[in-house]
Structure 1
Amino acid sequence: MKADLVIAHGLVVNASGSQAAHVVVSGGRVIAVLDASEPVPEALRVVDATGRVVIPGGVDGHCHVAQVTGRYRTLDDFAVTSTAALWGGTTTILDFGIPRDADESPLAAARNKLDLARAARCDVALHASVITWDETVPAQLEELAALGIRSVKMYMTNRGTTMADDDTVLRVMREMVRLDGLTYIHAEHDALVVDCTARHAAAGEIGIAHLHETRPELAEEASVREVLAMAEYTGAPVYFVHQSTPGAVDLVAAARARGLDVHSETCPHYLVLDDGVYASRFPERFACCPPMRSPETVAALRKRFADGSIHTIASDHSCYDLTQKRERSDDIRQMPHGLPGVETRMPVAFTALGSPTPRALERFVELFSTGPARINALPGKGVIAPGYDADLVVFDPAEVRAVDSRALHMGTDFSPFEGELLRGWPQIVVAGGRVVLDERGFHDPGPVGRFLARRGYREAAAREELVAAAGR
Structure 2
Amino acid sequence: MELIIKNGTVVTAKETYLADVGVAGGKIVAIAEKLEDPEARVIDATGKYVMPGIIDGHVHLALPFGGTVSADDFSSGTKAAAFGGVTTIVDFAIQMKGESLADAIARRRAEADGKVCIDYGLHVGITDAREEVLREIPEVISNGCPTFKLFMTYDAFVVDDGTLLSIIEKTTDSGGMVGVHAENHKIIGYLTARLLSEGKTAPQYHAVSRPDWCEAEATSRAIRLAEAVGGKLYIFHLTCSRALDEVVAGRERGMPVYAETCPQYLLLTADCYLEPDFGGAKYVMSPPLRTAFDNEALWKGLRDGYLQVVGSDHCPFTMEQKKLGLGDFTKIPNGAPGVETTLPLLYSEGVLKGRISLNRMVEVLSTNPACLFGLPNKGSLAVGYDADIVIFDPDKEVVLSYQDLHMCTDYSPYEGLRVKGYPVTTISRGRVIVENGIFTGDFTHGRFVARRLPQF
Range into which the TM-score falls when normalised by the shorter chain: over 0.9
- Return the alpha-carbon distance in structure 2 between the equivalents of residues 278 and 7 of structure 1: 44
- For the aligned residue pairs, the C-alpha RMSD in angstroms reads 1.7
Shift of 1:359: 7.3
- Any conservation in 2 of the 1:306–1:353 contact (CA below 8 Å)? no
- Return the alpha-carbon distance in structure 2 between the equivalents of residues 55 and 218 of structure 1: 38
In structure 1, what is the equivalent of residue 390 of structure 2? 393
- Any conservation in 1 of the 2:66–2:331 contact (CA below 8 Å)? no
Q: Which of residues 11, 14, 17 in structure 2 aligns to 1:16?
A: 14
- Any conservation in 1 of the 2:8–2:19 contact (CA below 8 Å)? yes
Task: Please list the CA deviations of residues 367-411 of structure 1 after superposition, one character each: whole Å capped at 9, or x if unmatched.
Answer: 111111111111210010100000111112232211110111122
The unaligned stretches of length 5 or more in structure 1 are 462-472
Task: Please list the CA deviations of residues 7-38 of structure 1 after superposition, one character each: whole Å capped at 9, or x if unmatched.
Answer: 11111000011110001101110001102xx3
CA 1:296 to 1:358, structure 2 compared with 1: closer, same or farther past 3 Å?
A: closer
In structure 2, what is the equivalent of residue 409 of structure 1? 406
In structure 2, what is the equivalent of residue 469 of structure 1? none
- Any conservation in 2 of the 1:189–1:223 contact (CA below 8 Å)? yes
Q: AA paired with 1:431?
A: S
Q: Is residue 2:352 matched to residue 1:355?
A: yes
Equivalenced residue count is: 453
Point out 4+ residue stretches in structure 1 off by more than 4 angstroms: 356-359
Q: Is residue 2:256 matched to residue 1:278?
A: no
For 1:330-349, list aligned pairs within 5 A. Answer: 330-349=327-346
SS of aligned partner of 1:63: coil
- What TM-score do you get using the length of structure 2 for normalisation? 0.96
- Return the alpha-carbon distance in structure 2 between the equivalents of residues 372 and 260 of structure 1: 19
Between 440-449 and 393-402, the greater mean CA deviation after superposition: 440-449
- Return the alpha-carbon distance in structure 2 between the equivalents of residues 335 and 240 of structure 1: 24
Q: Is residue 2:228 matched to residue 1:236?
A: no
Q: Which of residues 188, 204, 211 in structure 2 aligns to 1:193?
A: 188
The unaligned stretches of length 5 or more in structure 2 are none
In structure 1, what is the equivalent of residue 160 of structure 2? 165
- Any conservation in 2 of the 1:106–1:130 contact (CA below 8 Å)? yes
SS of aligned partner of 1:185: strand
- Any conservation in 2 of the 1:186–1:240 contact (CA below 8 Å)? yes
In structure 1, what is the equivalent of residue 50 of structure 2? 54
In structure 2, what is the equivalent of residue 249 of structure 1? 244
Shift of 1:137: 1.4
Shift of 1:457: 4.0
- Any conservation in 2 of the 1:93–1:125 contact (CA below 8 Å)? yes
In structure 1, what is the equivalent of residue 297 of structure 2? 300
Shift of 1:308: 2.4
Shift of 1:305: 2.4
Q: AA paired with 1:126?
A: L
Q: Is residue 2:213 matched to residue 1:215?
A: no
Identity %, equivalent residues? 34
Q: AA paired with 2:284?
A: A
In structure 2, what is the equivalent of residue 426 of structure 1? 423
- Return the alpha-carbon distance in structure 2 between the equivalents of residues 423 and 374 of structure 1: 29
- Any conservation in 2 of the 1:246–1:300 contact (CA below 8 Å)? yes
- What TM-score do you get using the length of structure 1 for normalisation? 0.93
CA 1:414 to 1:32, structure 2 compared with 1: closer, same or farther past 3 Å?
A: same
- Any conservation in 2 of the 1:428–1:438 contact (CA below 8 Å)? yes
- Any conservation in 2 of the 1:179–1:456 contact (CA below 8 Å)? no
SS of aligned partner of 1:33: strand
- Return the alpha-carbon distance in structure 1 between the equivalents of residues 340 and 48 of structure 2: 20
